Chain A
């Protein structure tokens, strides 16, 4: 479940936690769990490590809560802690630099020509009941270069806005738009030819079909 942040609830929660009602931190962090985990999984590309890093992020957020100034959304602040946690772990492991940290810097080049189709029949949401469609989508996203995957994850999967995505990833809003455009173009090119098989069949012999 994706839940939009509620600034009033958060501010009240934070005030009470800092006054000693520590248990409220459980409620405060709950809406952030998904983006924390998926951002870390996107950076670290390892589920077990992403989970460990997510726990570490949440503990750090709790310990540093008094430093949260409220000039950004709470979720944005937590995600920047998650990003630092993820990047810190990548830096420690030199063997991963090539495919992750260095790849985070490269926004240039690439061919963004879309897959050419002459018609498109929409793949309905119900098709996601088929496990293989979810798997196809996940693999395609995991195959994106890291800088594009991170942006797509926050914008299209966690449905955060441009401003919050930029703040969470420490990049400009312009970069968010450019990277999102490229991520979507790469996905369209990769997925469109393969997704055709998930669309409802056209032209039944009698009537319009289901």
Chain B
């Protein structure tokens, strides 16, 4: 059975996380070999997922940890 593009998009997230079964993965892989559109959607989604995971994107406010542990220390010593 040949799957269509919409079907591939529905499973992109699970595909990236390795949570599709072997049969579906093989079908998606076959589709991707010949579909530039879905390949680009998959690659760009995966790229976005990798980029947002970088610690430089979300950093704790300056001094957050120090202030937290100072407050905690006051609690621990009372």
Q: Which A residues are closer than 8 A to B by beta carbons?
A: 1-2, 22-23, 25-26, 29-30, 33-34, 37-38, 47, 51, 54-55, 58-59, 62-63, 112-120, 122-123, 125, 128, 133-134, 137-138, 141, 152, 156-157, 159, 177, 180-181, 184-185, 187-188, 191-192, 195
Contacts and interface: CB of A to CB of B under 8 A. Distances in A.
Contacts of A23: 76
A138 B57 contact: yes
Given A25-B72, A37-B60, A118 B52 contact: no
| A-B complex: 9 closest residue pairs judged by Cβ atoms | A181-B13, A117-B40, A120-B43, A192-B44, A120-B40, A188-B45, A22-B76, A120-B44, A114-B41
Interface in B1-44: 9-10, 12-14, 16, 19, 36-37, 39-41, 43-44
A115 B45 CA distance: 10
B55 A1 contact: yes
10 contacts: A37-B60, A54-B64, A117-B40, A117-B41, A134-B56, A181-B14, A185-B45, A188-B41, A191-B44, A195-B51
Given A55-B71, A119-B36, A159-B53, A33 B65 contact: yes
B75 A59 contact: yes
A120 B47 contact: yes
Contacts of B75: 59, 62-63
A33 B53 CA distance: 16
Nearest to A183: B13
A116 B41 contact: yes
Contacts of B64: 33, 37, 51, 54
A59 B71 contact: yes
Contacts of A123: 47, 51
Interface string B58-78: 101100110111011101100
Nearest to B8: A114
Contacts of A188: 41, 44-45, 48
B44 A115 contact: yes
Give the most central of B37, B57, B68, B76: most A CB within 10 Å. Answer: B68
A188 B9 CA distance: 11
A123 B52 CA distance: 12
A55 B67 contact: yes
Nearest to B41: A114
Contacts of B16: 184
Contact of B12 (A58, A118, A137, A185): A185
A188 to B, nearest CB: 4
